[in-house]
């Protein structure tokens, strides 16, 4: 079968959904972070697919931006998580809650 | 000294005494008393000097300006204010001197004299004010002084209730007065008395009956006319000098003074109402006085009755002037009604203050016994009081040649000229006056003393008898025009003398007086222990004593109608205004706060969910749903 745009987009959507539900449902902060990365990569995939099937370079160029932003975000975010771990000795989000409920 | 400065001295010296007494001298009664008497003396001397030397003047200074509305502080001194000022400062001073003796053994006299001086300040303010709003301010202050002095014995619940009643009933009248002032300002653009008079003299068609009647409401409240007369008899709870000064000679006369001051604003219809209210009050109060046992209450009803005469006189004379009789009103001069009312006010101030001070002298001597049926035989025991009181009594009933005769005759002349039933109503009022006063005189002074208190009564010292003598002289010769300073000329010269029907008027007045006096003289036993009317005609006595059920009606009205309405309004306010609007808005904000707080769970998953939710909402919004 010919792999068309719709297949790429389906995979991208599936990845995005998995990443989204990972953010929503997992308790480990690092796993949530992985979910975020997964969502970013899903959007990257969608952009590349569009770029390929439209014959333009716009999507590909935009992917570079996304990767850069993702890298910066990971650096900062992981730094925060490490600092949080040092303070709280845990990375489980339900144990990180300091608000009285 | 400039007349304006003199006027300010007259106005402010009692205030200074009041402030010093009230702030510093409450414990030191003797010093406070002397200070008040001194201030009253200063006002008297300055007042006499002003009257004898100054020409009429008007000064004013702007106090506040709010947009186009400006409130001025000003003095208006013309023959009318000169006469009223004369009455106030002279009678005021005499009563202050009397109070030195009367309140001698009262530990609270510092407070008393503070109140008296404050009253003098407020009353002089009413007399001299040049615009209606300033007059209203002083009017309210006079009401306040009255309240403070009526409730002087504040540990007596009846005194406190009387003070409240006086203030509240006055307030009802003042409400009408204030509405009148506002309407006048709206209709004429000014509340300055002189400006109003000139506006009206220029164009008589701008008058409105409503304004006149509303301003008259103020006089009804302050001067105890029907239906707002109910506070005056109760006001006798205050010390006797207070009753003499405030509730006989000056404050209650303020209503009459107001009418005379601003009389130009009355239309013919308003004057008709005024005439009949005055006449009705005159005879109603006469009937009420007949069954009273308390000497002060008799005199209180007598005051109400005489005020009715003054109000009727004002109405009658002004009506004649309005209808165009040249004999009664020349351009810019005072009309016959104003003159008669002011003349009666002056003579009344003398003899009523005398009667009250005489009653005070009796009460003081009999150790605060006020029931006339517990007195008796006082003519022998207190000769000076007896003679002076008798002079006042004769002046009040209109005995020929004494002051009251002339002023009452002037009023009857006006009534006769007006035609109609008013003349006979007022003449009957004179009969009643003679009747109840003779009753008082016979029962209190003759016969045998009825109780131990009356038995041991003896004449008071000079500080109390001298004022009586001075006032008695005034009551006797106060009808003579020539004794008054020229400053009062424009008023006293306008006092009407009966022209046609002179013989009839004099005959009717003397006959009414004679029938009333002789009837009471023979009916009531001298020094009786029991009221003969009550004994022989108990039904009639009870009917008279009911005083047409005004008080019961007001009690019922306040308890059943007004309280219920007030409770309904309170309910409305609690539910709607405080509840729904104020607390509702607060509650709504609180709910929003609660909702917002619910979002702050600290749960990251929850935050992500809401984030996503917000995203979807914004997307829907952008798509256009």
Q: How far is B600 from chain A (nearest CA, A)?
A: 8
Name the residue among B247, B276, B409, B264 with its Cα closest to residue B343.
B409
The mean-pLDDT minimum among A70-74, B187-191, B425-429 falls in B187-191
Global confidence as pTM? 0.81
Q: How confident is the model at residue A101 (pLDDT cuts 50, 70, 90)?
A: low
CB contact under 8 A, A93 and B600: no
State both tokens at B511: 């006959």
Q: How far is A1 from chain B (nearest CA, A)?
A: 35
Q: What's chain B's average pLDDT?
A: 88
Q: How far is B623 from chain A (nearest CA, A)?
A: 21
Q: How confident is the model at residue B449 (pLDDT cuts 50, 70, 90)?
A: confident
Neighbour count for residue B613 (Cβ, 10 Å): 10
What lies within 8 Å, CB to CB, of B388 at 6+ separation is: B354, B358, B465, B468, B469, B471, B472
DSSP, collapsed to helix, strand or coil, labels residue B73 as strand
Q: Which of B602, B613, B615 to mutate to test the interface with A (most CBs of A within 10 A)?
A: B602
CA B435 – CA B420 distance, rounded (Å): 24
Q: How confident is the model at residue B530 (pLDDT cuts 50, 70, 90)?
A: confident
CB contact under 8 A, B601 and A24: no
pLDDT in tens, A11-34: 999 999 999 999 989 999 999 999
Whether B324 shows a pLDDT value over 80: the answer reads: no
Instruction: Give the chain B residue whose CA is nearest to the CA of A101.
Output: B601
Name the residue among B292, B332, B309, B335 with its Cα closest to residue B252.
B309
Beta-ladder partners of B75: B59, B129
CA B140 – CA B133 distance, rounded (Å): 11
Q: How confident is the model at residue B543 (pLDDT cuts 50, 70, 90)?
A: confident
State the pLDDT at residue B606.
85
In percent, how much of chain B has pLDDT > 90? 49
Q: How many CA atoms lie within 13 A of B90 on its CB side?
A: 20
Asked if residues B222 and B139 have their Cβ atoms less than 8 Å apart, the reply is yes
* Rounded alpha-carbon distances, angstroms, from residue B275 to B203, B280, B405, B458: 24, 9, 21, 44
**Among candidates B601, B605, B608 on the partner chain, residue whose Cβ is nearest the Cβ of A99:** B601
pLDDT in tens, B226-256: 899 999 999 999 999 999 988 877 888 899 9
Q: Which residues of A touch B605 (CB under 8 A)?
A: 24-25, 93
Instruction: Give the chain B residue whose CA is nearest to the CA of A99.
Output: B602
Taking residues A35-47, what's their average pLDDT? 96
CA B310 – CA B578 distance, rounded (Å): 49
Q: How confident is the model at residue B278 (pLDDT cuts 50, 70, 90)?
A: very high
Q: Does B157 touch chain A (CB under 8 A)?
A: no
**Among candidates B601, B608, B609 on the partner chain, residue whose Cβ is nearest the Cβ of A101:** B601
Alpha helices by DSSP H, B422-501: 422-445, 452-455, 462-477, 489-492
State the pLDDT at residue B188.
87
Between B132-150 and B251-261, two packed helices, what is the crossing angle to 10 degrees?
170
Print burial letters for B218-230: b (CB count within 10 Å at least 16), e (below 16): bbbbbbbbbbbbb
Q: Which residues of A touch B609 (CB under 8 A)?
A: 24
Interface of B with A in 565-624 (CB under 8 A): 600-605, 608-609, 612
Whether B326 shows a pLDDT value over 60: the answer reads: no
State the pLDDT at residue B330.
43
What's the CA angle centered on B294, arms B289 and B298, to 5 degrees?
Answer: 25
Cis amide bond preceding B334, omega within 30: no
Q: Which residues of A touch B600 (CB under 8 A)?
A: 99
pLDDT in tens, B70-86: 888 999 998 999 999 99
CA B212 – CA B274 distance, rounded (Å): 10
Q: Which residues of B touch A32 (CB under 8 A)?
A: 604
Instruction: Give the chain B residue whose CA is nearest to the CA of A26.
Output: B605
Instruction: Give the chain B residue whose CA is nearest to the CA of A95.
Output: B603
Q: How confident is the model at residue B201 (pLDDT cuts 50, 70, 90)?
A: confident
Q: What's chain A's average pLDDT?
A: 92
- Which range among B61-70, B228-237, B493-502 has the greatest average pLDDT? B228-237
Q: How far is A51 from chain B (nearest CA, A)?
A: 25
């Amino acid at each position: 079968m010919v792999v068309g745009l719709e297949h790429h987009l389906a995979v991208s959507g599936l990845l995005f959904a998995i990443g989204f539900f990972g953010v929503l449902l997992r308790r480990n902060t690092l796993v949530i972070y992985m979910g975020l990365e997964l969502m970013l990569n899903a959007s990257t995939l969608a952009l590349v697919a569009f770029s390929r099937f439209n014959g333009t370079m716009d999507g590909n160029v935009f992917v570079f931006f996304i990767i850069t932003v993702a890298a910066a975000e990971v650096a900062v975010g992981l730094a925060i998580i490490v600092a949080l771990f040092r303070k709280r000795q845990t990375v489980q989000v339900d144990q990180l809650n300091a608000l009285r409920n | 000294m400039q007349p304006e400065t003199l006027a300010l001295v007259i106005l402010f010296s009692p205030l200074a005494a009041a402030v010093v007494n009230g702030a510093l001298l409450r414990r030191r009664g003797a010093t406070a008393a002397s200070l008040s008497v001194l201030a009253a003396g200063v006002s008297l001397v300055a007042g006499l000097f002003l009257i004898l030397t100054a020409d009429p003047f008007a000064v004013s200074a702007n106090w506040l300006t709010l947009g186009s509305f400006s409130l001025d502080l000003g003095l208006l001194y013309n023959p009318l204010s000169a006469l009223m000022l004369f009455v106030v400062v002279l009678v005021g001073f005499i009563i202050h001197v009397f109070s030195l003796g009367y309140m001698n053994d009262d530990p609270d006299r510092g407070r008393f004299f503070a109140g008296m001086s404050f009253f003098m300040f407020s009353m002089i303010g009413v007399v001299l004010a040049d615009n209606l709003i300033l007059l209203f301010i002083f009017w309210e202050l006079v009401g306040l002084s009255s309240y403070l002095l009526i409730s002087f014995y504040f540990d007596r619940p009846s005194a406190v209730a009387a003070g409240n009643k006086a203030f509240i009933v006055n307030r009802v009248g003042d409400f009408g007065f204030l509405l009148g002032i506002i309407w006048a300002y709206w209709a004429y653009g000014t509340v300055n008395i002189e400006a109003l008079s000139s506006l009206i003299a220029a164009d008589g068609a701008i008058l409105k009956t409503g304004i006149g009647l509303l301003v008259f409401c103020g006089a009804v409240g302050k001067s105890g006319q029907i239906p707002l007369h109910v506070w005056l008899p109760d006001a006798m709870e205050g010390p006797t000098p207070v009753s003499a000064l405030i509730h006989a000679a000056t404050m209650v006369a303020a209503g009459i003074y107001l009418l005379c001051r601003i009389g130009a604003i009355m239309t013919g219809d308003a004057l008709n109402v005024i005439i009949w209210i005055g006449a009705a009050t005159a005879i109603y109060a006469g009937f009420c006085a007949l069954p009273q046992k308390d000497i002060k209450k008799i005199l209180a009803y007598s005051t109400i009755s005489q005020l009715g005469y003054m109000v009727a006189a004002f109405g009658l004379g002004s009506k004649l002037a309005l209808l165009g009789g040249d004999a009664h009103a020349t351009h810019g001069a005072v009309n016959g009604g104003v003159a008669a009312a002011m003349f009666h006010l002056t003579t009344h101030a003398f003899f009523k203050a005398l009667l009250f001070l005489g009653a005070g002298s009796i009460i003081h001597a009999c150790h605060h016994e006020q029931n006339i049926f517990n007195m008796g035989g006082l003519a022998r025991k207190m000769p000076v009081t007896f003679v002076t009181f008798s002079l006042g009594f004769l002046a009040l009933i209109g005995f020929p040649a004494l002051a009251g005769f002339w002023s009452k005759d002037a009023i009857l002349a006006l009534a006769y000229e007006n035609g109609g039933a008013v003349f006979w109503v007022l003449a009957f009022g004179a009969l009643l006056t003679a009747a109840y006063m003779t009753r008082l005189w016979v029962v209190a002074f003759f016969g045998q003393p009825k109780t131990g208190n009356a038995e041991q009564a003896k004449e008071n010292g000079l500080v109390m008898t001298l004022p009586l003598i001075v006032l008695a002289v005034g009551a006797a010769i106060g009808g003579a025009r020539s004794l008054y300073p020229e400053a009062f000329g424009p008023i006293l010269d306008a006092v009407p003398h009966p022209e046609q029907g002179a013989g009839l008027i004099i005959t009717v007045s003397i006959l009414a007086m004679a029938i009333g006096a002789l009837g009471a003289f023979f009916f009531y036993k001298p020094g009786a222990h029991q009221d003969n009317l009550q004994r022989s005609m108990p039904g009639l006595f009870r009917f008279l004593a009911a005083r047409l059920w005004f008080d019961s009606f007001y009690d019922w009205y306040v308890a059943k109608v007004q309280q219920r309405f007030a409770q309904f309004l309170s309910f409305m306010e609690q539910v709607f205004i405080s509840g729904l609007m104020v607390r509702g808005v607060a509650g709504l904000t609180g709910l929003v706060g609660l909702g917002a707080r619910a979002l702050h769970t600290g749960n990251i998953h929850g935050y992500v969910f809401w984030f996503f939710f917000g995203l979807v909402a914004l997307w829907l919004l952008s798509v256009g749903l």
